[in-house]
Amino acid sequence: MIEILAAGPLATVQDLGRPGYRRYGIGTSGAMDPLAFRAGNRMLGNPDGAAAIEVTATGFRCRFLRPARFAVTGAALATTLDDAAIPPWWASSAAAGQILDLSTPRAGMRAYIAVSGGIDVPAVMGSRSTDLKGGFGGFEARSLASGDVLPVGPPADAREVPDGGFGVRSPPRGPEVGSAAPTVVRVIPAAEYGLFTDEALEAFWSRGWTVGADSNRLGLRLAGPALAFTRRVELLSHGLVTGVVQVPPSGQPMIQAMEANTCGGYPKIGVVIGADLWRVGQVRIGGKLRFSETTTEEAMDAAAENEAFLERVARAARTASALGRGGR
Amino acid sequence: MTDDDILAISAMGESALLCQAPGEFGGAAQERILGLAEVVAAWPGVVETVPGVNNLLVMFAPGVMAPGAMRDRLRDAWTQARAVRTEPRTVEIPVAYGGEHGPDLAGLAERTGLSPDEVVRLHGAPTYTVLALGSVPGFPYLAGLDRRLAAPRLDVPRLRMPAGSVLIGGEQGGILPVASPTGWHCLGWTPFTLFNPAADPPVTLRAGDRLRFVAAERPA
């Protein structure tokens, strides 16, 4: 069991979401950085979909009420267990009573605390993800608060974390500590791409777009030059996928994220490829994002690269467990 | 089949295709879209079908079918698509119009040159059809709105409107089952429950249902 001492700006229980209900208007929810989320579970020998805590930015603290194996992945935050520093992307063991503290993100926006056995809240429509918009799922259908006690399931895997823990490298070309470079996400042009002026398309692909303060799990609202249309259209409402980049008449693009509406009618300029959705989830408010044009074939290659990364994480975890000592 | 009966298909990312039926919404095309959705949902590799208003989003696992083959198969299936047989129910939705419940009623009246009372009367007169559910849990896209009340989406969507908001967007009507951002205009509010996550199915309305709005009080 895990007691929340401080939740920071937003902490929620998430897993990989609940696909299959979009025809009812129910979105997937789930981890904004599914790559880091899955990696944490792989480090512990959990199923990929075991529920974890998604922590936003800074100021999160919790106490392990029972001994637990856990991993912290995603954003690079200053992390301590009872004041002992833990590097990012590290798996450790906690004794009962130890306090985990996450603060000062050095790169990225969201971190994941995976625990052996997963967070054991009831599943709603097949998932433990919190749907904040719909008001269901996760821990009591809401974001976490100080005093909450989260149940933890029985570990599926009996492996031990070696003394001192072990770590893995974070994904390649991820957010870097101290870097102001824009996060690059790959985009496939969408149905209304041809409606935009040449100047608008040039700006869309070349600009560093600033992530606005009203960006959240529903989506990122980007600030930059207004993208102009050659003509105005009023589209009938249609289903949307996560990662679609819409441009309302204001000309400011929005990327729909994990809690976005399932349908909409604003023009679509492109869609972020599935393999880069985790990068969208890690861009900080005030940070910069750049779009790079790509194809379906490249999108599938990128997805395969992500799976290969997760396989390497799983192998490293098995090796660390077998060797019974820290390090990669 | 006429030359006009072609499904327009566009990619939405690497694992979804958006299929757009020709013609005005609210007509026979919507029934055929629902029929197409049923057929396509059973194809290998199809993860989900999401009907919209005169359109269908097909989400699939990449690699199961070549993209060109999927498009061809969808176009063929459309030519054979027939209306799904549904048992239409008529649901009554009580609405408190205007004032704090309907912040856009006055603006809509001004835009259309009608009085707020006339807007309320025109909104409540028709029997609407639920075309599809989408956007937020249980949200119904409604056909049957009097054309005089049509209003394009707001240039800047509102970040949050309350559950129960009765809305107009373009030529479509809608009701918010949960608090949500929206670019639609809000005329009033209803206490009617559209979504319950513990129920099976979790949504109250179905595509094909008929619906009537009944005014609960005069606009302010």
pLDDT digits (tens, 9 = 90+) for A122-145: 999 999 999 998 999 999 999 999
Q: pLDDT tens digits, residue range A200-241?
A: 999 999 999 999 999 999 999 999 999 999 998 888 889 999
Interchain contact, B170 vs A234, CB within 8 Å: yes
Which DSSP helix (H) or strand (E) runs through B182? strand B180-182
Is the separation of the CB atoms in A267 and A192 below 8 Å?
A: yes
Instruction: Out of A136, A188, A218, name the one closest to residue B13 (CB).
Output: A188
Q: Classify strands B90-97 and B210-217 as parallel, antiparallel or unpaired.
A: parallel
Chain B residues within 8 A of A121 when measuring between CB atoms: none
Over residues A44-53, the mean pLDDT reads: 97
Q: Residues of A with CB below 8 A from B9's CB?
A: none
Q: What is the mean pLDDT of residues B195-199?
A: 92
C-beta atoms of B178 and A188 within 8 A: no
Q: How far apart are CA A104 and CA A118, in angstroms?
A: 25
* CB-CB neighbors (< 8 A) of B202 in chain A: 21, 24, 26, 125
Please tell me which of the candidates B48, B63, B201 has its beta carbon nearest to residue A22: B48
Interface predicted TM-score (ipTM): 0.93
Give residue-wise pLDDT tens across range B100-130.
Answer: 999 999 999 999 999 999 999 999 999 999 9
Q: Which of A239, A241, A271 sits opposite B134 (nearest CB)?
A: A239
pTM above 0.80, yes or no: yes
Q: Which residue of B has its CA nearest to A250?
A: B155
Q: Binning pLDDT at 50, 70 and 90, where does residue B171 land?
A: confident
First-to-last C-alpha distance (Å) of chain A: 28
Q: Which of A21, A33, A126 is nearest to B136 (CA)?
A: A21
Query: Which candidate, B188, B57, B205, places its Cα nearest to that of B139?
Result: B205
Nearest to B202 among A26, A264, A300 (CB): A26
Residues of B in contact with A268 (CB under 8 A): 12
Higher pLDDT, A76 or A246: A246
**Measured CA distances, A262 to A37, A134, A256, B57, B197 (Å):** 23, 12, 9, 11, 16
pLDDT (tens digit, 9 = 90+) per residue, B77-93?
A: 999 998 876 677 899 99
